[in-house]
Structures are given as C-alpha cells and as structure tokens.
Amino acid sequence: MFNPAISAKKNFFKEVLLRVLTICYRSGDELIEINLAYTSMIGTVNYVRRHGIGSHQSAAYAITWQGMGLWERPSMREAVVPAPNGGHVTFALPVRNRANHVWSFWTAVRNRLKAAHPAHGW
C-alpha cells in the first residue's frame, strides 16, 4: 500500500544524503558510510560506565570507532548498564563465537539486556 507521507520522508532523506555527498565531493573530503546497527548497545556496554557518559554520546563513540575501521569488542566479561531509576544492571556477556558474525554476539547481548529489564522493574 502506498503511503505518500512515508514516500516523502524517504525522498527527503535521499535528498539530504545526496547534498552531503555533493558537499564532501566538492570540498575534497571523504564521507565514510557505516552501518549503525548495534551502536547504541556497543556504546552502552563499553563506554557508559567507564567514562561516565550518556547512552547517546557512547553510541557516538562506537560510530567513531567503526568509522576509523576499528571494531568494537566488549571491554569486559560483564556488562554494567545504568538503569533509569539511578541504579545499574549487571549481567554476564555471552561467549564470543568467532565462527559467527559479530552481530550475532551483540544480538545475544541485547536479548540478555531485554531479559534483565522486567527483572529490575523497567
């Protein structure tokens, strides 16, 4: 089913991306496109507690690392994720299986965090 509002949004974002690409090309700058999947989860697990920053800034850290060609591995064996009530949730990270894609690891982390939400009253 065709929805004109969704179509207009898609066209708007395509136009913005085209303009950004044009500006970068004209100025001689490189535009690095990355996949933003799991950047919030990666940032939350790796940076929030360690640097005392928010989840959005930690996601920006993860995006920066990916843009530099580095990939995010978990920095510890346990994830300590801040809770909205001021506390935190700690859970063991799954074992990384190198035969699978790294996103399967972050999917398992997300599933464990989702399971921890109701247990802590979120």
User: How confident is the model at residue 57, as a pLDDT?
Assistant: 93
Which residues are CB-neighbours of 106 under 8 A, at least 6 positions away?
A: 37, 38, 41, 42
- Residues 67-109: tens digit of each pLDDT: 888 877 776 676 677 666 666 676 667 776 667 777 777 788 7
User: How confident is the model at residue 54, as a pLDDT?
Assistant: 85
- Residues 41-54: tens digit of each pLDDT: 888 888 887 888 88
Structure tokens at 96: 């990384």
Q: What pLDDT band is residue 121 in, cutting at 50, 70 and 90?
A: low
Do residues 65 and 71 make contact, with C-beta atoms less than 8 angstroms apart?
yes
| Mean pLDDT estimate for the chain | 79
Quote the percentage of the chain above a pLDDT of 90.
13
pTM metric for this prediction: 0.64
User: What is the rounded average pLDDT of the residues 3-20?
Assistant: 82
Q: Where are the domains of the chain?
A: 1-31, 39-119
Q: Compute the C-alpha angle 108/111/112, nearest 5°.
A: 90
Closest among 62, 70, 56, 14 to 36, alpha carbons compared:
62
Do residues 104 and 97 make contact, with C-beta atoms less than 8 angstroms apart?
yes
User: How confident is the model at residue 22, as a pLDDT?
Assistant: 94
